[in-house]
Structure formats: C-alpha cells, structure tokens
Amino acid sequence: MTSSFEYAPAPESRSIVDIAPSYGLFIDGESTDGTGPALKTVNPATEEVLSEVATASDADVDRAVRAARRAFTRVWGPMRPADRGKYLFRIARLLQERAREFAVLETLDNGKPIRESRDVDVPLAAAHFFYHAGWADKLEHAGLGPAPRPLGVAGQVIPWNFPLLMLAWKVAPALAAGNTVVLKPAETTPLTALLFAEVCRQADLPPGVVNIVTGAGETGRAVISHPDVDKVAFTGSTEVGRSIARAVAGTSKRLTLELGGKAANIVFDDAPIDQAVEGIVRGIFFNQGHVCCAGSRLLVQENVHDEVVAALQRRIGTLRVGDPMDKNTDLGAINSHPQLDRIRELVAFGVDEGATCWQPEGELPGRGYWFKPTVFTDVSPAHRIARDEVFGPVLSVMTFRTPDEAVAKANNTTYGLSAGIWSEKGSRILQIADQLRAGVVWANTFNEFDPTSPFGGYKQSGYGREGGRQGLAAYLKGDN
C-alpha cells in the first residue's frame, strides 16, 4: 500500500520450521493414518500447498474417543492434581521455548502477520497453559464446592482465525480440571495443532490425554456427536453452533458455544480522538478482522463524526497490507478463498444498499487472498453490513446523538459478544457498560485478552465462558 515512505523488507525466516510433506492424526500418543481422503493445507498469502493432512473418519474419531476415555479412567483422572499441573507447566514452557517456530508456522498456515502471531497468539497460548497449570491443584477454590470433579472426555472443535490460541483456550482448562481431550482443528489451519501434538510428546504427556483429529466439518460432527463424549466445546459460526446445539440437545453432554459477533465500538465526543482511532484500527483490522469480537460497528457521536472519519482514513492510509512474514506488515492475507468470497459478497451488498465505501489507494499482491481495509459510511442499522458478521477488514460507521441512542444502537443486534467505549469520563463509561448486552466491554482500549478474564457472549454469540474461574466451571462437576 502507499505510505509516505517505504520500509525496507524485513522478512522473518521460515527456516526454523520443518513442515513435513504429510501428517497423520494424533491418537493415543501416536501419529496414525486417517481413513478419510487427505486434505491439502495452503499458505493463503501465496497459494502454495504447505502439506497434506489426514482426515479422520467416524471410525478414527471413535478410536480417539476410546483413547481419551482410557487415559481419563486409568491415568489422568486418578492423577494427583499437582502432578497434572506439572504437565501443564511443562507444556507452557515448551510453547515459550518453541515460540518462534509456532509463530512462523501459524503465519504460514493462517496468513496473519508475523508480528501478531509472535506478539499475541503464541505468548497468549503459553499464558493460558501457565494460568491453568496454577489452577490444577486449587480447584476446590473455583467456587464449585469443596471437591469439584472432571466431566470426562471433552470433544472440542475450533476455527481457523486463532488456531493455536483457540486450542490453548480449549485444552488448558480441560486438562487442568482433569478431563481428557479430542480436538478438531479447522480444515484450513491444522499445522500448529499438529506441532502441539509434538509438544505433548516432548512433555511426556501420557498417551490419550490429548488427541488431535484433523479433517473437515464431517470430522467435527463426528466428534461432537460421539456418544462417549461428556462435554462439547465449540468456537465458530453461529450457523454451525446452532446445529451443534440441536445435536447435543436431549443428551447428557455439557455444551459451551462461542459464536459470532457484531460488536459496537462507541466513540463519544469527549474521547481522545487519536487514541480512539488507534483503538478503532486495532478493533477491526487486527487479524484481518477475522475476530469474533471485532469492533465491526463504529458508533460515533454525530458532532465528531467527520473528524473521526478523516483521522481514521489518514491512519488507514499508513497501514501496510502484504507479506505476512514481513515484520512491518499490519494486515496479512485473508485465510481462504471461500472467506474472501464471503467478504466480497457482503461488501457488494453494502454498496448496493447505498452505503459509501472507502478504501485506501494502493495495489494488493497478485497471488494469494487479499482484501483492502474498508470503511463504510452512511450506513443504516438495517443494512446487512451493519447486521451480519463480515469476519474481514470491513468497518461500518454509524452515528448517534445521545448516550441512550448509543446504547440502543449498540444493543440492536442479534449478537452480544463484545463492545468498546471511548470517553474520558469514568462515570459515563461505567453507566454505559452497565447497559450494554455484551459479554466483554472494553473501555478506552479494544481486543485485549487475558487468561484470567472470562470471555463469552449473550444471545446468538453463544453461552458459557472461557478463561478465568468462570471458564473452569465448564469442565467441572460441582457438589452444589
């Protein structure tokens, strides 16, 4: 993209990572063949095939669940909690030791900038294991009675936007609470989960405690509907979340769903505008907007609308879109061709419905899947770009006059995952936050994550919490 001066390229080397030409499933501590047809995983920035990955059939998923059950009954369930904690600490340390390898692999498989995988995804994944390692022998203080017990085997299905981090959000609390796991990574981003399998072996984790079954949606369906799975945890689209809720209804399985969002980022006229602009950029362009809690609806107080939009456009003009392996890159590649098609379709709806579309000047790379940072103004709450989750670098700007109108517009969505408030008045922030129907509300910041802080939604954003003491409840049976 154009900017006032050019940076010299600063590419991260990929030589630290050995990508095998093919990968099997990770079941009972071993790499094994899958019986389904192998899938190719592609670098979305170059369309280069990175590797072939096995697909788990129903029979393979059954083997994985049996292995997880055996490990739960014989080893992991009966183990002293402090010893379980030691394994989690070991995994956390190994993630830190191999951080650069994980960051490079994540960027190659997912398309996100190396700066983000290196500074956000991998450190946070390690932090989740450290945090939950500390809980393993203190579960009686989780607020679930004096002797909470694990549920058994957890079936976990995760999406492609934060492949390693979502794995950590799922696996760390499950293991800390004494459960064993069968995890299915997303079809387009399986590689860091398979490297994590290697970390499990390196940590001497007993076989069967963590099993990783790769494949497409059918493999996910087999995991969540397996009769010997006690707990289902899913992160992904609202549509698939609904079908999982139907499949699990009427069984004794426990379910947590972390689904889509359409967060409002509310900017009052007393907000520090430059700081707010940084927060708006971080809210919607972090990870190419492939973020369930992205601040995709900007609500600006009417009297500062023009000033905010002008400052935002100036700032977006300086963002660097391109090679995700370059340490100067701000926006990387869109994760897959179908996701690019979906973004294009929703943007075309925005234009057809009469909103004004703005994009910065500049060329995108010729190969790979790319989309420019995009801002829509003149958006009405009825437009699809104001209602549907785009899951891409597309911001819809609307205005409000009074705090009540801001709250009404922010809550005018079928989702309720997150929100942001920008104001210099603490009392106003508290008053507005109290009225927002969103699981997470950020004040004068956006997209901050911490393993101690519970994360989850209202309404069609799903139910249950991940992280913090509340997140442990999803993996434990209490006495009360």
Give me the active site residues, please.
Answer: 258, 292
**Least CB distance from residue 467 to ligand NDP, whole Å?**
15
Q: CA distances (Å), 45 to each of 109, 160, 197, 276, 368, in order?
A: 9, 15, 25, 30, 4
**Least CB distance from residue 158 to ligand NDP, whole Å?**
6
Which two three-digit tokens encode residue 65? 């669940």
The verdict on 154 binding ligand NDP (CB under 6 A) reads: no
Determine how many CB atoms are found less than 10 A away from the CB of residue 455: 22
The verdict on 217 binding ligand NDP (CB under 6 A) reads: yes
The verdict on 295 binding ligand NDP (CB under 6 A) reads: no
| β-bridge pairing 440-443 and 418-422 | parallel
- For the four alpha carbons of 161, 166, 167 and 168, in that order, the dihedral sign comes to positive
User: Looking at beta carbons only, is 155 or 322 nearer to ligand NDP?
Assistant: 155
Which two three-digit tokens encode residue 314? 């100036």
User: Looking at beta carbons only, is 243 or 435 nearer to ligand NDP?
Assistant: 243
What are the backbone dihedrals phi and psi of residue 136, each rounded to the nearest 5 degrees, phi first? Answer: -50, -40
The verdict on 466 binding ligand NDP (CB under 6 A) reads: no
User: Looking at beta carbons only, is 399 or 460 nearer to ligand NDP?
Assistant: 460
The verdict on 36 binding ligand NDP (CB under 6 A) reads: no
For 92-118, letters b (16+ CB in 10 Å) and e give bbbbbebbbbbbbbbbbbbbbbbbbbb
Only one of the segments 98-106, 152-160, 191-199, 317-325 lies at the binding site for ligand NDP (rule: CB under 6 A); that segment is 152-160
**Least CB distance from residue 184 to ligand NDP, whole Å?**
6
The verdict on 58 binding ligand NDP (CB under 6 A) reads: no
- Looking at 148, 178, 207, 260, which residue binds ligand NDP (CB under 6 A)? 260
User: Looking at beta carbons only, is 261 or 360 nearer to ligand NDP?
Assistant: 261
- For the four alpha carbons of 460, 461, 467 and 468, in that order, the dihedral sign comes to negative
- Looking at 24, 34, 148, 159, which residue binds ligand NDP (CB under 6 A)? 159
Query: What is the spatial distance between Cα 194 and Cα 26, in angstroms, rounded to a whole number?
Result: 8
**Least CB distance from residue 85 to ligand NDP, whole Å?**
29
Tell me the helices (H) and strands (E) count for the chain, helix number first: 16, 20
User: Looking at beta carbons only, is 399 or 418 nearer to ligand NDP?
Assistant: 418
- φ/ψ bin of 347: left (φ > 0), alpha (ψ from -120 to 50), beta (otherwise): alpha
Q: CA distances (Å), 371 to each of 11, 26, 117, 130, 368, in order?
A: 21, 35, 19, 36, 10
How many residues form the binding site for ligand NDP (CB under 6 A)?
Answer: 26
- Looking at 240, 276, 308, 394, which residue binds ligand NDP (CB under 6 A)? 240
Query: What is the spatial distance between Cα 1 and Cα 45, in angstroms, rounded to a whole number?
Result: 15
Which two three-digit tokens encode residue 258? 């972390």
**Least CB distance from residue 385 to ligand NDP, whole Å?**
13
User: Looking at beta carbons only, is 230 or 326 nearer to ligand NDP?
Assistant: 230
The verdict on 283 binding ligand NDP (CB under 6 A) reads: no
- Looking at 67, 175, 186, 277, which residue binds ligand NDP (CB under 6 A)? 186
Q: CA distances (Å), 163 to each of 76, 218, 237, in order?
A: 25, 18, 15
User: Looking at beta carbons only, is 257 or 280 nearer to ligand NDP?
Assistant: 257
Query: What is the spatial distance between Cα 425 and Cα 446, in angstroms, rounded to a whole number?
Result: 17
Give 378's DSSP letter: S
- Looking at 133, 213, 292, 440, which residue binds ligand NDP (CB under 6 A)? 292
**Least CB distance from residue 412 to ligand NDP, whole Å?**
19
The verdict on 236 binding ligand NDP (CB under 6 A) reads: yes
The residues in 300-329 that bind ligand NDP, with binding defined as CB under 6 A, are: none
The SS3 assignment for 257 reads strand
The verdict on 287 binding ligand NDP (CB under 6 A) reads: no
What are the backbone dihedrals phi and psi of residue 403, each rounded to the nearest 5 degrees, phi first? Answer: -55, -40
The verdict on 375 binding ligand NDP (CB under 6 A) reads: no
User: Side chain identity at 5, as an amino acid letter?
Assistant: F
Q: Please identify which residue in the block is written with the tokens 């390898």.
A: 101
Chain residues binding ligand NDP by CB under 6 A are 157-161, 184, 186-187, 216-217, 220-221, 224, 235-237, 240, 243-244, 259-260, 292, 339, 342, 389, 391
